Structure 1
């Protein structure tokens, strides 16, 4: 009966979500007077939190259900709404506003000079007069892209004689995948530094056996031929956290920290954040509590800690939020931590859920300031989960830092479907930790391995000494989480340019590679973790035999994860992509789709096909230039 009740509540909370099947709509937006195509027009699906911008040819592509309305907004033009019917092509002509626009922008309940906001705010309403003389609202899409991503120096191949140990903190974040999807759906390839291969891989759930004997995490390994170089090997290391029934999860003390500054205007920002938070509210129980803190020019408490049973009261507080003002992110974080400490539940889930575009520009603004603040506050036992929103001014670099240092996870919400994935489908994994400070260390056998390379995790690398140092942070795993890491291995005896040659050393003897022993081990995998309430880590380990499977004999999950990693290398134009190929990875992903009830793997295949077309288009454009 509980399962039936939960399913009913979920269905009611998502009413309309499955009422019709979305289909792809494309078209071109023109100037009514000149007939010229308009670049940068914001095209959104009303009520769905989905938005794209027209490309250099005025073209757009978006998914919507029949009966929904498409809204078209552009500075200097009258807004337009078009009802979706059965046509898959909808071309639109916008009327320019001939009168001068006022030189102010209405931001929430205040007025701000337009010049102060250009380049930093998308979806700002500007009041002007239409040709008919009636007041009209037009919207300014982001004219300058100020998104920021932390630079990634790609991991290289190492010789195990020199570097026998590879050490990193696990990462359950998947923000890079949904952000990459946003770029592709908008007809663009993402910036190289926006592509974090480990987050692409870990976006997907894999069929792994859970732990036994009371352990919170189980470890699995698999070795097969590398798809992009048949002479190399690919080692998959996967962790699986235990599953816990919802009614057995500890009580939650949550603080929703919601950015309501001017930069959060626009359908894919605050309205989408509000919809996401309300989905989360629907999952709460009577013993859970929620407080709401907002920040713009200053921080304030919108809702004191309220039982999860009072869903209407919590949702009303969320619905009442409006965007406007500057961004006092540091003050908001400090206030949220204070509220969380005041209502701390011993043995419970004490967590701040931050919803923002990361555009902190008042108070503690630098990454160093934020890192110090969170390093101090996390000692209280309060975790920080981060939900990123927006485009054009999105600060991925800051959002990732906040989650990594705050004992939490980081997701980028680009549409209502992604909100449902994070807030409903993966509710336990998003909010409830079962193992903290999880670290992995792999020792490679130099008698079997000529070189190795960790794919991704560049921002999570640790020194070898950090593995045994319980004072060094690892990553946290939530209920049911899976984490995968891939190593590319060059076996002994293979002629290879990796890891490269150096001259013999002058002042110490050259290290000799040991004789191949009878043992077939190529590596030993160790991982450490702490219990949620503990400060002392525990150790588990297992060995990896050296005989690989043929790729065709590997598990479907292995083949699919390798296809995701291969696409990541192509997106990054990796120095190590070797024989990576779009057609082969797409075919492999199709053959490894398996059970795909939510359609995430099918969506990846469509995205990979789009990346192939965009990459080809860019190559042709470069050749013509």
Structure 2
């Protein structure tokens, strides 16, 4: 009888759950009833969510009683409780002016500009959201004030073709950062084309997971390669190279000594900065184990320690410290960095993951501010075994160039967080790869066979290029590979003419040897890497046979990475884009998106469709 009652109880619970579970769909529009792509739709209190597509449409699985949160930059966040409805359409409203968004000026108040793009003109106001402003001079009619977008990016000069006889060797550092992709997504979602220098094609490619096979040997990563006709130039070949890092399960990762270095200056005072930062770091805190430790350092006009190193199982204490943060003051970035390194060294874990996580819009304007000074500071500190990763937030005054330097020189990753779903991707889905390095100073060197290759061009990696001799120099810094991370690189190759070419120099002759003339190999790949705590590198060598893959046998990874690269070249209006067009690339991406459990590849297709109309 008891067994029957228990069974009936379980059945009742299942029936109740099935009755409460449902799908909600709808369309999100703005005040002009125009569809809004890229709106975040999240179940309150969870990390489960989605975003609207190019038509403003969304669909999400919920339970009755759940609360859906709709958020978008510049719009008032809305919360709607799920009852018996199956369709919820939402009209987003522009944010009103709040006290925390107002700057007091000489003869009035004005709203801060957080908009990227055209200049914003504002006048003094006398009241704020219906609240009386008690400042006597607020009714003074101040002259218009103009604010310009002050975002900064490092200049990118695209790689050109290299002659395989004169320059047979290509050398570069790996790059697993994905900041450029999420940043350009922000621009496109706001109806703008991103600046050309904001588009780093290798970061677009490496934003996505390519599910290469895990390594099986003694090395912490495996090498994959394919070669076939180039989609945008049938006369050329496209060489796809993939590097898959070994995935270490979370429970097997070494203990972490983390220092959250958080920018709480006045420039962080907007919805897509400090409030989003707090939500993002809560996701990270929930991933921590008892053996992990966290300290929180903040900086504004000055820097300070707001939470001493605390064990990861004291989540409420850590989150409470985050909740109390408010923005205001100037940006003493250098002082904050120095204090964070000091705290990290004081709590250093031998054999552990000792890392600073810097979260900022990059606007360092007090103390050490030049890129070269910041670079020297971080290079000096990383030798003590403390790495630094960077999370970028916000728009308008975003300093991409500074943040990229900090992450590159600090042996860390660089991500741009434009919404809570991106925070979940970086800090939950890719937790091990973001925080735990399995190999550092990873370099790639490819020697092309001039008997087959006339010219070659590396797509992207412009700011990661190395000199040939730097490949064997263990003192030369290079990129890091995290647990489970993969790296993909593409080369476009022009085939050699029938007549063999030799190097034409006045004082020397270079003849192709029998190995080159056999035409069995198109290239040889060399990899160098160091273990996280080592100073001497390890060499791997692999040959690439001249075996062209027929189109029908090409992997989804090959085709999708080519679609991403083509998209990047279109956004840059590259002289090397060949026959690239949006229809071709969208078809290529749609045919290779695969399982796409998290929807990242589908999102790329939506962004392509959006960019096509801008």
- Which band: TM-score by shorter chain? 0.7 to 0.9
- Matched residue, 1:54: none
For 2:172, what is the secondary structure of its paired residue? strand
1:504-523 equivalence runs, <5 A: 507-508=506-507, 517-523=517-523
- Matched residue, 1:27: 30
Q: Are the aligned partners of 1:403 and 1:409 in contact in 2 as well (CA < 8 Å)? A: yes
- Matched residue, 1:255: 259
1:438-587 equivalence runs, <5 A: 438-493=442-497, 507-508=506-507, 517-587=517-587
The alignment status of 1:433 with 2:437, answered yes or no, reads yes
Is the alpha carbon distance of 1:71 and 1:115 closer, same or farther for their aligned partners in structure 2, counting shifts above 3 Å? farther
Q: 1:144: how far off?
A: 2.1
Corresponding residue pairs, total: 555
**1:44-65 deviation digits (Å, cap 9, x = unpaired):** 989899xxxxxxxxx9979798
Q: Are the aligned partners of 1:255 and 1:291 in contact in 2 as well (CA < 8 Å)? A: yes
- Matched residue, 2:604: 604
Unaligned runs of 5+ in 2: 1-20, 48-53, 61-66, 117-121, 139-143
Is the alpha carbon distance of 1:573 and 1:114 closer, same or farther for their aligned partners in structure 2, counting shifts above 3 Å? farther
Q: 1:28: how far off?
A: 3.8
| Whole-Å separation in 1 of the counterparts to 2:32 and 2:205 | 36
Which stretch has the larger CA shift, 64-73 or 218-227? 64-73
Q: 1:237: how far off?
A: 1.0
Is the alpha carbon distance of 1:185 and 1:156 closer, same or farther for their aligned partners in structure 2, counting shifts above 3 Å? same
Is the alpha carbon distance of 1:425 and 1:112 closer, same or farther for their aligned partners in structure 2, counting shifts above 3 Å? farther
Query: Which of 243, 247, 250 is the matching residue for 1:246?
Result: 250
For 2:191, what is the secondary structure of its paired residue? coil
Is the alpha carbon distance of 1:180 and 1:526 closer, same or farther for their aligned partners in structure 2, counting shifts above 3 Å? same
Which stretch has the larger CA shift, 128-137 or 403-412? 128-137
The alignment status of 1:90 with 2:100, answered yes or no, reads no
The alignment status of 1:165 with 2:165, answered yes or no, reads no
Q: Are the aligned partners of 1:177 and 1:203 in contact in 2 as well (CA < 8 Å)? A: yes
Q: Are the aligned partners of 1:258 and 1:295 in contact in 2 as well (CA < 8 Å)? A: yes
- Matched residue, 2:220: 216
Is the alpha carbon distance of 1:105 and 1:279 closer, same or farther for their aligned partners in structure 2, counting shifts above 3 Å? closer
For 2:162, what is the secondary structure of its paired residue? coil
Q: Are the aligned partners of 1:446 and 1:514 in contact in 2 as well (CA < 8 Å)? A: no
| Whole-Å separation in 2 of the counterparts to 1:163 and 1:117 | 57
For 1:152, what is the secondary structure of its paired residue? coil
Q: 1:259: how far off?
A: 0.2
- Matched residue, 2:236: 232
Is the alpha carbon distance of 1:216 and 1:22 closer, same or farther for their aligned partners in structure 2, counting shifts above 3 Å? farther
Is the alpha carbon distance of 1:119 and 1:89 closer, same or farther for their aligned partners in structure 2, counting shifts above 3 Å? closer
| Whole-Å separation in 2 of the counterparts to 1:117 and 1:472 | 49
- Matched residue, 1:150: 154
| Whole-Å separation in 1 of the counterparts to 2:243 and 2:535 | 21
**1:223-258 deviation digits (Å, cap 9, x = unpaired):** 111100111111111111111111110000000000
Q: 1:160: how far off?
A: 1.2
1:332-343 equivalence runs, <5 A: 332-343=336-347
| Whole-Å separation in 1 of the counterparts to 2:351 and 2:358 | 22
- Matched residue, 1:195: 199
- Matched residue, 1:327: 331
| Whole-Å separation in 2 of the counterparts to 1:183 and 1:215 | 39
For 2:565, what is the secondary structure of its paired residue? helix
**1:442-479 deviation digits (Å, cap 9, x = unpaired):** 00011110000000000111010110000001111010
Q: 1:192: how far off?
A: 0.8
For 1:225, what is the secondary structure of its paired residue? strand
**1:151-181 deviation digits (Å, cap 9, x = unpaired):** 1000000001111110000001000110111
**1:370-428 deviation digits (Å, cap 9, x = unpaired):** 10110111111100000000011111111111100000000000000000001100000
| Whole-Å separation in 2 of the counterparts to 1:193 and 1:112 | 34
Is the alpha carbon distance of 1:44 and 1:177 closer, same or farther for their aligned partners in structure 2, counting shifts above 3 Å? closer
**1:195-218 deviation digits (Å, cap 9, x = unpaired):** 111101101111211222332111
TM-score, length of structure 2 as denominator length = 0.82
Query: Which of 420, 427, 448 is the matching residue for 2:424?
Result: 420
| Whole-Å separation in 2 of the counterparts to 1:67 and 1:429 | 30
Cα RMSD, aligned residues only? 3.7
| Whole-Å separation in 2 of the counterparts to 1:72 and 1:158 | 43
TM-score, length of structure 1 as denominator length = 0.81
Q: Are the aligned partners of 2:102 and 2:110 in contact in 1 as well (CA < 8 Å)? A: no
Unaligned runs of 5+ in 1: 1-17, 31-36, 38-42, 50-58, 74-78, 496-500, 615-625
The alignment status of 1:592 with 2:592, answered yes or no, reads yes
1:66-105 equivalence runs, <5 A: 68=69, 88=89, 90=91
Is the alpha carbon distance of 1:587 and 1:494 closer, same or farther for their aligned partners in structure 2, counting shifts above 3 Å? farther
| Whole-Å separation in 2 of the counterparts to 1:117 and 1:149 | 28
Q: Are the aligned partners of 2:110 and 2:125 in contact in 1 as well (CA < 8 Å)? A: no
